[in-house]
Amino acid sequence: MGREQRAPRKRSTTPEEPTATGPRSRRTEFGLAELIPDRDHPQAWSLLLDGAPQSHVDLADPTRLAFEYQRRLGHLVDLAAAPGKPIRVLHLGGGALTLARYTAATRPRSRQQVAELDTTLTEWIRAELPTPSSWQIKVRGGDARAVLERAPEAGADLVIADVFSGARVPAHCTTVEFATLAARALAPGGRYAVNIADGATLAFARCQVATLLAVFPEVALIADPAVLRGKRFGNLILVAAHTPLPIAELARRTATDPTLARLEHGRELAAFTGGAPVATDASAAPSPAPPPNTFKHVGR
């Protein structure tokens, strides 16, 4: 799903990469964090918070994005500028820093800031899954919205909101006011990407699309067709901008992913909202809780 995250402390040399042996756990300020080893990759781990999957990290290959929603966000990192060109990224959430690691590995010298509310989780991830000292990942402990409010105007090429409290997106990070703050933080030509979760009637997802369309002229949605049909609970990626989105290239890339994806844009996406209301600070609610057993055996 995703959590607010904080950067590892600086080290003078490239850190030694720990080999996965068995599960590790730590009680944090907001729940039980677990690192579950990947049986097929000896230096890879899944981060779970209270049983909900948050991130997957492969220390041996930070460009390997195992979770489907992270691969889709990775496509947006790839399309943010010419290949290899450094970019400025503001991560509102980040789990075990998977997307920040991916950006640093694929776009050296990129400047990145990550927000994480759970500072105990941050310290634990720093120790268990360290990053090279050369990566320019700065982290600020605090609420994602508070960090976004203080973000420099036009200071980011890409803003990624992957903010979850447990398995739910908190209400104050779902509103038109929040989206307006994200738009303010974007440099000309920049893009805003959001990870959410929904299922069944998709009422929350429809509301979130309507909310972004109230701020941005360009919005697209990427999700598993089964999720869009309400057949299962899962992640949906929204991307928004004030300039045309690379729809054709984004569709091509998602079509090559191991999991099926459907991309909605334009009239089809406007119709998807079905007249859903725009979320405001006065009316917003968190995303729905996952159905029972949604994450049973995930990452284990």
- pTM across the whole model: 0.90
296 to 57, 72, 198: CA distances (angstroms): 20, 23, 17
Confidence at residue 167, expressed as pLDDT on a 0 to 100 scale: 87
Task: Look up residue 258 and give its two tokens.
Answer: 């191991």
150/267 Cα distance (integer angstroms)? 34
Task: Look up residue 274 and give its two tokens.
Answer: 């079905």
Confidence at residue 30, expressed as pLDDT on a 0 to 100 scale: 87
> Is 2 in contact with 115 (CB distance < 8 Å)?
no
> Is 215 in contact with 178 (CB distance < 8 Å)?
no
Confidence at residue 277, expressed as pLDDT on a 0 to 100 scale: 98
The two most distant CA atoms of the chain are separated, in Å, by 54
Q: Which residues of the chain have pLDDT under 50?
A: 3-16, 299-300
Confidence at residue 286, expressed as pLDDT on a 0 to 100 scale: 97
CA angle 152, 104, 264 (to 5 degrees): 75
112/122 Cα distance (integer angstroms)? 16
231 to 9, 27, 136, 202: CA distances (angstroms): 42, 34, 41, 10
pLDDT in tens, 90-136: 999 877 999 999 999 999 999 999 999 988 898 898 889 999 989 99
Length of the chain: 300
Confidence at residue 14, expressed as pLDDT on a 0 to 100 scale: 41
What structural domains does the chain harbor?
62-272 (3.40.50.150)
